[in-house]
Amino acid sequence: MFVIFLLFIIILMSAILLELKTPKDERRDLKEMFPLYKMEQGCLLSKQGDITLCLELTLPELFTSSTEEYEQLHDVWVKAMGLLPQGFVMHKKDVFTKDTVAKVSGEQDFLSVSTNRHFKGRTKLHHRSFLMLTKLSPARKPSGSVSSNLLRKHFIEPAVLDSRFLTDFISQVARFERVLSEGGLIKSIRLTEEEILGTKDKNGLLDSHLNLFPIGASPILTDIQFKPDFKIGAQKVVTYSLSDSEDLPSSVSSFKRYDKYSTDKTILPTGYVASLGILLDCDHSYEQFIVIGDGAQMLKTLDQKRRRMQSLSLSGRENALSAEAITDFMNESISKGLTPIKAHFHIHAWTDGKDLNLEELDTKVAAAISQAGFRPRREDLSAAQLYWAALPGNESEIPPNELFDTFIPQAVCLLNQETAYRSDTLDTGTRFCDRNGIPLWVDMYDKPRKTGLTSNMGTLVCGSSGGGKSMTVNHILRSQFIQGGHIVVVDIGGSYKAQCELSKGYYFTYEENNPIKFNPFYLPNGKLLDTEKKESLKSLLAALWKQENEDFTRSEYVALSGAVAGYYAHLANNPQVFPCFNSFYEYLQSDYLTLLAKQGVQQRYFDVHNFLYVLRPYYKGGEFDFLLNAK
């Protein structure tokens, strides 16, 4: 105990001396302490000799995964993490930034202009998920809260890395990516040098972390201030960490029931920490660290701590409970074959004070952490070190005192597993709204066919009476129409009559003095007879001629094909003949009968007289002569 106390005094005095040696008003250029050296083969190299590869992940959308899919996601992460050898640090960085809806529709008609006015000014939350995999240099020195490279003025020069070190690292990351993409729930893509470092005109991943502006925004040089308050430019920052096992819940799972949209019989699941991610409506980043260390050494250190706590159990009940907890942890590791790892999670949230002041932001973040089942712990002393360690490529600087012992399956439960709804481009598909009233576009018909998701074009709209089914379908029809779609609606009850009139369409309805009439034989000027038209006419004639229980032979199909083809050849030679069922029937009675007689077609192959007799009611003077002879 005396040695531990003496060590604590030495560390404390070192921090005080460092503070005294550094004037409070001293400003330092970021270049002096920047920990990264250069990029090599798409990887970030640090001045300590660490190597990092950056990925961007595409996660499932919120409220779209089932409980089975959350279990599958968990298994995939556990398998992928199990491939990482000792000396790896995985850093998952989920960045959520608010943006204002500026334009909803590009059309200039009354409804589109009104829509733009209605949605203008609403804020939506954008999400991008990044994954950094860092291989620590074998010869690097460990960092601590006092010895962080944020406070060092001199860096160890980077060692000359063996070519096999880089080759093995890239191979290990490739295996990790392949396993992570199993099942298709998560997709990953490696970030390019421009996306990481940025350009003169656009923020990269590093710039975005340093100045809190989104990737792709114009780069802005800002001051970073840690004392007395944490500020980056005009943004005030609060930091909450999940780094103490006492702040964690007693148990975790791969998903959580979302009570707002669940019922007694149905469960709508979300990720276990969804309230810290896309459901936390403010600018923030959720930083997740998993450190793969020497498992055997960790168990040995824990055993020493257990013995120490056990020896002090008589002086306090807390020591006995700590010894018992360590024993349970070690027993689970040995019995289930789990390798202990270290993990850390924290949230950076920021505001410029215009829409949300610092106190309101603090309350919102603390409430979200409590909702997730954790005890909120605001970081003030270690906020700077945590912010610095979350810089991509600098993951090795996460302070050891901010890490807690756990296993991979439990740590994976605390990863953010979902993202915001993905919208198609402006004015493609149909505009809908998410549950927060933010517009998004869904291409329900063309995109699923192009991507091979489905070839089905059917849509079923369900809802109670007065729930807005007709309104929804009217909106879908209008969206398809303004994008050039040709729409035919069978309307019962006149729900779409006004839509048809506004679109200057044709509305057919049954009336005694003006019954519904069509003309399937009509072809506009310049349009040729195609296969689809032929097949539809043959299907129509067969349906009028045969009942459902009557057979339709191949010879009869060939005869109808000849009749349709001969009729349109007859129209081409006689342009004064108007195409309709009447003229088709007259062609059958004259020219086609003569043709069948010349060919010697027997009645058992095609009974043309029976065909003419059955279709006689649709010819002029018949009971349904109006139906197929519209002008």
Quote the pLDDT of residue 137: 83
Give the chain's mean pLDDT: 85
Instruction: Please report how many Cα atoms fall inside a 13 Å half-sphere around the Cα of residue 347, on the Cβ side.
Output: 31
Contact 52, 395 (CB under 8 A): yes
- Could you give the residue ranges of the DSSP H alpha helices within 201-357? 205-211, 295-311, 317-336
- pLDDT tens track for 251-267: 899 999 999 989 988 99
**How far is Cα 364 from Cα 276, in angstroms, rounded to an integer?**
10
Sign of CA dihedral 532, 538, 540, 543: negative
Helices (H) and strands (E) in the chain, counts: 20, 17
Alpha-carbon distances of 472 from 171, 496, 584, rounded to whole Å: 51, 11, 42
- pLDDT tens track for 318-348: 777 777 877 888 888 888 888 899 999 999 9
Please report how the helices 163-180 and 67-82 are oriented relative to each other, as an axis angle in degrees rounded to 10.
160
Burial of 626 (0-12, 13-18, 19+ CB in 10 A): middle
Q: Give the residues across from 90 on adjacent strands.
A: 133, 290
Sign of CA dihedral 227, 232, 235, 240: negative
- The pTM score is 0.76
- Ranking 139-148, 296-305, 397-406, 543-552 by mean pLDDT, the lowest is 139-148
**How far is Cα 198 from Cα 208, in angstroms, rounded to an integer?**
9
Alpha-carbon distances of 171 from 129, 174, 177, 228, 387, rounded to whole Å: 22, 5, 10, 45, 29
8-state DSSP, 520: T
Quote the pLDDT of residue 162: 64
Largest distance between two CA atoms of the chain? 119
Mean pLDDT of 476-490: 87
For the chain, what percent of residues have pLDDT higher than 70? 90
- Chain length of the chain: 631
| Residue type present at position 211 | N
Quote the pLDDT of residue 141: 60
SS3 of residue 350 by DSSP = strand
Q: Is the pLDDT of residue 16 over 70?
A: no
Which residue has tokens 């019922």? 263
Q: Quick one: which of 410, 241, 415, 247 has its CA closest to 329?
A: 410
**How far is Cα 346 from Cα 285, in angstroms, rounded to an integer?**
8
- Ranking 159-163, 258-262, 616-620 by mean pLDDT, the lowest is 159-163
| Residue type present at position 419 | T
Provide the pLDDT confidence category of residue 11 given band limits of 50, 70 and 90: very low
Mean pLDDT of 412-420: 95
Contact 421, 278 (CB under 8 A): no
The token pair that represents 216 in the structure block: 């792709």
Instruction: Please report how many Cα atoms fall inside a 13 Å half-sphere around the Cα of residue 184, on the Cβ side.
Output: 1
Q: Quick one: which of 99, 124, 103, 110 has its CA closest to 427?
A: 103
Provide the pLDDT confidence category of residue 238 given band limits of 50, 70 and 90: very high
The token pair that represents 609 in the structure block: 């007289």
